[in-house]
Amino acid sequence: MPKMKTHRGAAKRIKKTGSGKYKVAHANRNHILEKKTNKRKRHLRKSDILCAAEAKKIKVLLPYL
């Protein structure tokens, strides 16, 4: 059986933490920032941890991460 391929788009956006959870950046931080409050933009800077349901899907995309 051939090796599974890593989904390169996902690999560039998702990192795995030491405890095995997946870390991603928040959405909505790229453009149309004038109407968003400073508080909202500040909170979007921090990374986010994916929930268990999403992590299962990511595991298929990133078999060797």
Element (H, E) at 8: helix 8-13
- Domain spanning 8-61 has what CATH number? 4.10.410.60
pTM value > 0.85? no
DSSP assignment string, 21-60: -EEEE-SS-SS--TTS-HHHHHHHHSEEEPPHHHHHHHHH
Tokens linked to 65: 């991460």
Which pLDDT tens digit goes with each residue over 9-64?
Answer: 999 999 999 999 999 999 999 999 999 999 999 999 999 999 999 999 999 999 99
CA dist., res. 59 & res. 65, Å (int): 8
Please give the DSSP secondary-structure letter assigned to residue 1: -
